[in-house]
Amino acid sequence: MSGVRLIQVSDEDSDIRLDRWFKRQYPGLSHIRLEKLLRTGQVRVDGGRVKAATRLAAGSTVRIPPLDEWAEAPLPPDDRQKPGPKPPSEAENEKLRQMVLYRDKDVIAINKPHGLAVQGGTNMTKHVDGMLDALMFDSKERPRLVHRLDKDTSGVLLLARSAKAAAWLAEAFREKTARKTYWAVVAGVPRPHRGKIDLPVGKGVDGAREKMVADEDEGRWAVTYYAVVEQAAQKVAWLALMPITGRTHQLRVHCAEIGSPILGDGKYGGDKAVLDGIDHSRKLHLHARSIRLNRPDGGVLEVTAPLPAHMQTTWKFFGFDAKPDSDPFLELDLD
């Protein structure tokens, strides 16, 4: 068809969602119209039908049908005049660089702090994604996000330094070969002390706010292994958690469903998740402690992140030993 364009995805746009790619390329094209073009197969990637949330790979070819002039036009003057997010200061950039736990030619791992979002959202001006230029170091490419952590969850966050690294890291998460271990403090002590939570999770509503809920009928498959590492009487427990799937708020929902909500998680645990007399008990006590995955060359990448300050305080309060004797999931057979 005359007017059809085939555009190759650049390295810079690798792993970006298709709808966000269109927003960059064709700012005048509405999301509703893009969805129609996708439904009718007029927009394709590498010849196949795709969805708006499809993530693009460097080198892929996007088919663009003929578009109206307004769809290809630059943003209106009013929009161009709106100030964008304030760029991070050098002090903020240096603070991000100090979060680096590990770096090689393929990967950067940072210890994301509690309260820092990974990506932007409504009224969200400060986030890791907006600061990644500070982590280019000796590379000409901007690091790429390959997985996510909730804003209030701290711990290991991996970044890919190239499109090639992004591909194998994304595959490790997609194929569930990456072993992720989280530490949490929960209210109460789960029984039994070790177990597998196999409970689908889906979107629900609590009053006027949206939240994730356990939903065996329409929820998505979600599995978490847990183990009690230490406990303080029957009041709280230190849990090691290993999610096999990566559903939104999965660990928070699963812990609440077995009667032991994560400390500080008022959204899913209510009043039970806030304990009197404990400093920072309203801060979420969930930490991505470590990630372990195999490299394409046969090596192993393993990164561990120290606890954030508020969780260190809680560990000290209950007398927990921050260096457990062994990995509670070491002999777990996931095959």
pLDDT digits (tens, 9 = 90+) for 50-107: 999 998 887 788 999 887 644 555 545 554 445 556 788 899 999 999 999 999 999 9
**Residue 277 in this model has a pLDDT that exceeds 90:** no
- The alpha carbon of 304 is separated from its chain's Cα centroid by a whole number of angstroms, namely 17
Distance CA 279, CA 24 (A): 45
Predicted pLDDT of residue 70: 46
Report, as an integer, the average pLDDT of 265-277.
Answer: 93
Q: Which amino acid is at 92?
A: E
Query: If pLDDT is split at 50, 70 and 90, which confidence band does 205 have?
Result: confident
* Average pLDDT of span 219-245: 95
Q: pTM value?
A: 0.77
pLDDT of residue 283: 95
What pLDDT is stored for residue 80 in this prediction? 47
Does the annotation mark 150 as catalytic? yes
d(CA 239, CA 315): 12
- Model pLDDT, residue 72: 55
Whether the pLDDT of residue 166 is over 70: the answer is yes
Residue 334 has pLDDT above 70, yes or no: no
Q: What is the pLDDT of residue 324?
A: 74
Burial 10-37 (b: 16+ CB within 10 A, else e): ebebbbbebbebbeeebebbeeeebeeb
Among 78-92, 108-122, 206-220, 281-295, which range has the highest average pLDDT? 281-295
pLDDT for residue 156 is more than 80: yes
Residue type, 239: L
Rounded CA-CA distance 111/183 in Å is 14
Average pLDDT score over the chain: 88
Catalytic one of 150, 265, 271, 297: 150
Residue 178: pLDDT band (50, 70, 90) is very high
Radius of gyration of the chain (CA): 22
Long-range contacts of 261-268 (CB under 8 A, 24+ apart): 261/186, 261/187, 262/184, 262/185, 262/186, 262/187, 262/286, 263/184, 263/185, 263/186, 263/187, 263/236, 263/314, 264/152, 267/211, 268/211
Closest CA to 226 of 177, 172, 190: 190
Instruction: Between 166 and 224, name the one with better pLDDT.
Output: 224
Q: What are 148's two structure tokens? A: 């996510």
pLDDT at 192: 95
pLDDT at 154: 98
Cα 183 to chain centroid, rounded = 16
pLDDT of residue 1: 44
Taking only the tens place, the pLDDT of each residue in 94-152 is 999 999 999 999 999 999 999 999 987 666 778 898 899 999 999 988 899 989 999 99
Query: Which among 182, 205, 187 is positioned nearest to 263, based on CA atoms?
Result: 187
Q: Let me know: does 39 contact 6? Beta carbons within 8 Å.
A: no
> What is the predicted pLDDT for the residue at 49?
92
Residue 323: predicted pLDDT: 78
